[in-house]
Every structure is written in structure tokens, then in C-alpha cells.
Amino acid sequence: MSSRLFLAAVGLAVAAHAGPPLTIIQDVLYKADGTRFSGVLTISWNSFQAVDNSAIVMQSTTVKVVDGNLRVQLVPSTTATPAGAYSVTYNSDGRIQFRERWAIPSSAHSLRVRDVRVVGGGSDPDTATPGPIYESDVVGLIADLGARPVKAPSFAAGRVAMVNGAGLLESVAGSPGDCVRVDGTSGACGSGAPAFVDGDSPAGIVDGANASFTISAVPEPPASLAVYRNGLHAFSGRTIQFVPDAIPQPGDTLLASYRAGGDSAAPQVFAGVQVLCSGVGASTVSTTLASVGVCAIPAAILVPGDRVEVRFDVEHGGSTSGFSFEVRWGATVALHRDAVASDVLATGRIDVGLIAGGARLSAQSWGTVLPFSASVASSSDAYANGLTVDFLGKVGNAADTATLRSFAVVRIP
């Protein structure tokens, strides 16, 4: 009697520790080229309760596949609570090849992979097919979308975009060959950079009665126009209208300076000699060449074919040493002379002929004792973006002075 009770107790203990039922998945795996798959399968699952009420905790396991042979035992998932599926990751050649899901039923015989593979759907939260993600589900997405520019009703593909006053993107209207301004308007493109017109002589009879005169181009902007006479009443386009008390009289000379816009086809004209710079210079007691005067010629003033004349006078103070003076056209030395102590005055002039690649320079100079000298040189200094004419001087002894008394740089049409 006691032996039967002992055997029954052992049987109950074995049953209690036998574990949940398992289903065998056994198969031979191949690659698409017909060779056998070798690698590692990583199988993971969420916690669930098996059909026999065994508690299966969330975990994962790895299974080696050698020469295509796969064999693994897993607790059925289709009869579990909640029902789910295993996530299976195939690893080979040092990287993840692909992932799939297995839904394993209870089975007394082994199953093949095709018998447990899930195609679409699934209730496992880690492996189920993703559903829609709403904007409100993503932190900060709605605010970011609200901050981006939004298309206006007039927005169209293939055109230049602009941001209107409401912060919406719209397309600029205009012809394909138009240019777009910074305010979003469009219009005909300009033919080049603005032209600066100086010394333009307005056309019209100067007889004491005519009050209307015309300049060569339309000022752009209008405020750039300056007419040199007693007074200016008004102008429209290229026409200047003087007030009755300021009507030019016989013998008067009229000159106009203004800026012409890039859309203007009018050339940059100079009716007379244009003084680019003039004035008195400075003194120096330096024993090395130091600047005593500078003429900075702005960009877009000089063009090939122009001629520029440079004139200057230098005075020597003291008698303990000689002095030197030099003129540079850009970085090119156009003239350099060394005078003796008895030279009180020296003067010089430089003629510059502009060509496309630079300039041709001819210089003349002489002094109280300094003999007349002439020279020619070439310069490769670019002048389209502006150029500097620099006057320099030095003395042999700091007790003396060298002074640039006057200079002028003139453009000759």
C-alpha cells in the first residue's frame, strides 16, 4: 500500500515539473541560389500563458543552422493567452538577412517553416504590421509643421517662389526671360551695371527764354540728378524744367551729373573734361617714401580708350639734403625722380592711355635744377573695379621737408 502511494506521489511530481507542451519545427533551409543556408536564428517572444497555464516570460533564444539543418522546439503560440507569434531574425555572413514571424500551433509531429510562417497581420505588438501613425502621436510634429512655409493658392511648379505678406509660398508671375526683384515683382532684366554720367551738357537753347533742357539718359534713381545752375524747378524723365528766375542766360554753361540705371541703353558720356581728383597734398619728413596724396578713382568710371592726365607740383623745404618724389598708377611706378638739395620746386605730368588689359604710361618731369626727363612704361593694373593714384615723397635728412603743393587727375573724353 505504501509503495503504491509513493509511486503515485512521484508521478504527480514528474507531471508537475514536465513543463509546457512543445512543438518541433524541423526543416532544411536553402538560399535562392540553391546552396544551403548556414547561420543563426534569433527567436524572441513576449510574455504569454501556455495552453497548460504555464507562465512563459519574455525572452529570446538563438538556434544554429548548419548546412541548412534547422531543428527547434517552441511552446505553441496560437493556443496561448494572449495568442501571438514569435519574431524570428535570420543572421548570416555577419549581418541580419531578414525577419519573419512564426505562429506555432500545438502538434504531435514536427512542422516545417512554411507551416508556421505568418504572412501579414499578427497580434504580437513587436512584430505586427504597423498601423497608421497620426501627427498628434509624434512629439513636436504639429508645431514643426505649423512653422514651415505653406503653399498659397497661386503656387505653381516650375517658377520662382516668393514668400508673400502672409508667410505663404506663391509663385512669381512674369515672362520666362524676366528678372525677379527682392520684393517678388518681376520685370525686364537690365543690360548691365548702373552707369555714372558726369559733365553731361543738357540739350536746349540757352537764350534767356527757354526753360526746358534734355539730358542724355534717364536718371535712376531720380534723386541722383544734380544740375549746376542757379536753381532747379522740376524734371520728368530726361527733361529739366527751370523756374523763371533761374532760366539759363546767354553765356551760361550747364552741366548735369546723375546715375543711369542698368536698364538704360545710354552710354556713359562725358561732354567735357572730367576732374576725378584735385587738391593740395601733405608734407613729409620721412627718409623713406611716404604717401603725401592719394586719388581713388571709383569703379565703373574708366573704360578702354579713355585717357587720364595726372599733374602735380612738389616743393622742397630746407637745404641739408635732396629729396625724391614718385607717382604710382595702381601698383605700377609711373614716375620716380631724385632731386638735389638746391632743387626748390619740381613738377611733372603723366599721360595714361587705357587699353583692355591695362594702360600705357608716358611721364615728364623737371625741377629748379633737376633736368627734364621723359619716360614710357606699361601697366597691367586692372581699373574696372577702381584704381588708386598715389603720390609719394621722401627727404635725405629729417630736417628737410617734401610737400605735394597741388595735384589733379583728369579724365579726357
Point out which residues pair with 219 in neighbouring strands: 260
Distance from the Cα of residue 277 to its chain's centroid: 37
Residue range 126-166, pLDDT digits in tens? 444 444 566 766 778 888 887 788 888 888 887 888 888 88
Delineate the domains of the chain, giving CATH numbers in brackets: 19-116 (2.60.40.3390), 195-260 (no CATH), 274-412 (2.60.120.200)
Res 227: pLDDT:
73
Global pTM exceeds 0.85: no
> Which grid coordinates are listed for 200?
553731361
Q: Name 97's Cβ contacts closer than 8 Å, sequence gap at least 6.
A: 39, 90, 91
- Measured CA to CA in angstroms, residue 290 lies from 295, 318, 390, 404 at distances of 15, 18, 10, 11
Instruction: Please tell me what DSSP assigns to residue 36.
Output: B
Q: Where are the beta strands (DSSP E) in 237-305?
A: 239-241, 256-260, 274-279, 283-284, 290-297
Structural Rg of the chain based on CA atoms: 48
What mean pLDDT value characterizes the chain? Answer: 83
Q: Do 310 and 389 form a contact (C-beta atoms < 8 A)?
A: yes
Residues 6+ apart with CB under 8 A from 273: 199, 410, 411, 412, 413
Q: Where are the alpha helices (DSSP H) in 68-167?
A: 113-116, 141-147
First to last CA, the chain: 139
pLDDT in tens, the chain (413 residues): 555 555 554 455 444 457 899 999 999 999 999 999 999 999 999 999 999 999 999 999 999 999 999 999 999 999 999 988 999 999 998 888 889 999 999 999 999 999 999 986 444 444 444 445 667 667 788 888 877 888 888 888 878 888 888 888 888 888 777 888 877 788 777 655 567 777 677 888 887 788 888 888 888 777 677 776 655 555 656 777 777 777 888 877 777 777 766 554 444 555 567 888 999 999 999 999 999 999 999 887 888 888 999 999 999 999 999 999 999 999 999 999 999 999 999 999 999 999 988 999 999 999 999 999 999 999 999 998 899 999 999 999 999 999 999 999 998 86
